[in-house]
């Protein structure tokens, strides 16, 4: 009998110990100083949502590589951008090349979706209608940039808790989601303004809670993404023009991130930071020749001499695809380097560290207006002048004088405009976007080719674009390695990576 009670006591003790252990295991991964998502105010998440979009997606490796593909800059340094310049397949098609940007953007999409969930009607923060609209606009922008670069991507299931291997959505469906998000954002801004709801305040690092500016931005984004669809949607051009006109009427002045030092003492523009760390870009002879032909005063900003401690090292221009140029490593001896844009030259111009990041520039909107007006045979001159003036002002913000006015410059282009207005408008857009808008230039190359308008755009000169009769100019970017490994759907689409040279994205005439 005594033995029976001892056994029961030991069993009870064992159950108690097990229960205690389970309680400990339940709590072991909890961090009391890091509250769960439900405790975080969505208005605090929009700040990171905007900043991450600028640093991880709009700028970063995707833009750095695109600058080589578009020839707006030349990759140098005998390293990663050298390999991009010579179209090294193992680099350009590798799933590791854009893995950081892939991961960073989807982490931001998760952040934005979590914020959106809490701001939906009936949720804990449903009064934050203004924040809800901002989140929708930023989600539309992130999905837009990702699908334009990669094609079919995870969208509907991306950023959903518990889904580790989200399904891949067709690009056509991703674009439907983009426009749904933008229309929803516009409706939210209208409601918030009518009800006097304002929760974002200074957490909104784009517009400080100004809903009129956010509405104009949403229409400008709508114009951009409708423009991309001209090959696959007969109504897209008219819809893009209508959206662009609305953004113009609302006074769109651009969407750009500024004042990095107010967020972190060591923060700087990602382009300037990349140059400062690695010296992997140089001014392109393609761009300089076009500017020289037009007597373009922006050339003084685009191609500043490389100096070290005030001593001239080089003012030569790098030629796209010239291997010996791409091998040059910037140094301190005569000839070790090339001319470089002022916005990269942190040694000479402090402004480069603080240069803004464009999410969508004023000049881009007005170039959309000018292009579509030219295509319709309508007046375009005023919009072209406004676009160029915005570019002049942007270039001039880096400590080098831009002589003359945009009106004078555009007047000097009268002959070229008379000969081929579409080509000159698109050329001016290309020159304006050399600063930090290479992703849209990369989109324009593919869009113009899809429309049969390659002759009305900038000619590519890099001899490595074709190797042994095979195309080696990437038609898209390769998926990120983390999902190539972990998501069977992405792995199947990636294959050996060589699809990036043969398969166009959907809106450029492909299937995915």
pLDDT in tens for each of the 512 residues of the chain? 444 443 433 344 344 444 445 555 455 555 555 556 666 899 999 999 999 999 999 999 999 999 999 999 999 998 999 999 999 999 999 999 999 999 999 999 999 999 999 999 999 999 999 999 999 999 999 999 999 999 999 999 998 877 899 999 999 999 999 999 999 999 999 999 999 999 999 999 999 999 999 999 999 999 999 999 999 999 999 999 999 999 999 999 999 998 776 666 566 789 988 998 899 999 999 999 999 999 999 999 999 999 988 899 999 999 999 999 999 999 999 999 999 999 998 655 666 777 899 999 999 999 999 999 999 999 999 999 999 999 999 999 998 999 999 999 999 999 999 999 999 999 999 999 999 999 999 999 999 999 999 999 999 999 999 999 999 999 999 999 999 999 999 999 999 999 999 999 999 999 99
Q: What is the spatial distance between Cα 234 and Cα 375, in angstroms, rounded to a whole number?
A: 13
Q: Which residues does 315 contact at the CB level (< 8 Å), separation at least 6?
A: 303, 305, 306, 339
Is 479 within the bounds of a domain?
yes
Q: Would you say residue 483 lies in a domain?
A: yes
The number of folded domains in the chain is 1
- DSSP code for 359: E
* 382: in domain: yes
Phi-psi region of 113 (alpha: psi -120 to 50; beta: other; left: phi over 0): alpha
Query: Is residue 183 assigned to a domain?
Result: yes
Distance CA 197, CA 126 (A): 11
Residue 181 lies in a domain: yes
Which DSSP string corresponds to 133-153?
A: HHHHHHHHHHHHHHHHHHSSE
Q: Where are the beta strands (DSSP E) in 204-292?
A: 255-257, 281-283
pLDDT of residue 350: 67
Please indicate, yes or no, if residue 260 is contained in any of the structural domains.
no
| Residue 141 domain-assigned (yes or no) | yes
101 and 61 Cβ atoms separated by less than 8 Å: yes
Q: Is residue 180 part of a domain?
A: yes
Predicted confidence at residue 347, as pLDDT, reads: 57
Closest CA to 316 of 302, 347, 337: 337
Which residue range(s) make up the domain with 209? Answer: 43-248+356-458+475-508
Summarize pLDDT for 398-451 with one digit per residue, the tens: 989 999 999 999 999 999 999 999 999 999 999 999 999 999 999 999 999 999
Tell me the CATH number at 66: 1.25.40.390
Cα 72 to Cα 139: distance, rounded to the nearest angstrom: 28
Other Cβ atoms closer than 10 A to 62: 26
- 308 φ, ψ (degrees, to nearest 5): -130, 120
**Secondary structure of residue 313 in the 3-state scheme:** strand
Q: How far, rounded to the nearest angstrom, does the alpha carbon of residue 245 sit from its chain's CA centroid?
A: 23
């Amino acid at each position: 009998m005594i033995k029976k009670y001892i056994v029961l006591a030991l069993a009870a003790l064992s159950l108690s110990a097990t229960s205690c252990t389970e309680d400990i295991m339940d709590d072991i991964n909890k961090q009391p100083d890091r509250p769960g998502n439900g405790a975080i105010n969505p208005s605090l998440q929009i700040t990171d949502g905007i900043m991450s979009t600028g640093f991880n997606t709009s700028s970063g490796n995707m833009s750095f590589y695109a600058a080589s593909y578009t020839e707006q800059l030349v990759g140098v340094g005998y390293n990663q951008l050298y390999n991009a310049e010579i179209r090294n397949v193992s680099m350009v098609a590798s799933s590791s090349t854009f893995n950081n940007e892939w991961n960073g953007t989807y982490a931001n999409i998760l952040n934005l979706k979590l914020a959106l969930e809490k701001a939906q009607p009936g949720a804990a923060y449903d009064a934050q209608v203004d924040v809800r609209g901002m989140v929708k606009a930023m989600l539309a922008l992130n999905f837009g940039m990702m699908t334009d670069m990669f094609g079919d991507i995870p969208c509907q299931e991306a950023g959903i808790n518990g889904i580790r291997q989200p399904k891949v959505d067709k690009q056509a469906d991703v674009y439907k989601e983009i426009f749904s998000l933008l229309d929803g954002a516009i409706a939210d801004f209208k409601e918030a303004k009518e009800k006097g709801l304002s929760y974002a305040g200074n957490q909104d690092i784009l517009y400080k809670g100004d809903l009129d500016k956010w509405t104009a931005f949403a229409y400008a984004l709508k114009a951009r993404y409708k423009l991309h669809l001209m090959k696959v949607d007969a109504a897209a051009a008219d819809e893009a023009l209508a959206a662009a006109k609305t953004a113009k009427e609302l006074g769109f002045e651009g969407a750009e991130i500024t004042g990095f030092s107010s967020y972190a003492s060591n923060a700087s523009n990602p382009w300037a930071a990349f140059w400062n760390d690695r010296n992997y870009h140089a001014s392109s002879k393609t761009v300089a020749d076009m500017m020289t032909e037009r007597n373009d005063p922006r050339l003084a900003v685009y191609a500043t001499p490389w100096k070290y401690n005030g001593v001239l090292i080089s003012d030569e221009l790098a030629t796209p695809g010239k291997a010996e140029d791409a091998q040059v490593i910037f140094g301190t001896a005569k000839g070790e380097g090339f001319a470089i844009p002022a916005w990269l030259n942190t040694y000479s111009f402090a402004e480069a560290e603080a240069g803004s990041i464009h999410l969508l520039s004023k000049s881009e909107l007005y170039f959309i207006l000018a292009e579509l007006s030219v295509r319709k045979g309508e007046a375009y001159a005023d919009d072209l002048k406004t676009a160029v003036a915005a570019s002049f002002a942007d270039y001039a913000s880096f400590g080098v004088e831009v002589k003359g006015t945009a009106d004078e410059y555009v007047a000097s282009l009268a002959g070229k405009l008379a000969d081929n207005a579409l080509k000159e408008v698109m050329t001016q857009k290309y020159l304006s976007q050399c600063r930090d808008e290479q992703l849209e230039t990369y989109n324009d190359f593919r869009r113009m080719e899809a429309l049969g308008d390659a002759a009305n755009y900038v000619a590519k000169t890099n001899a490595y674009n074709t190797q042994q009769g095979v195309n080696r100019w990437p038609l898209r970017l390769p998926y990120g390695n983390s999902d190539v490994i972990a998501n069977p759907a992405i792995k199947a689409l990636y294959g050996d990576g060589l699809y990036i040279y043969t398969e166009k994205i959907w809106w450029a005439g492909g299937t995915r």
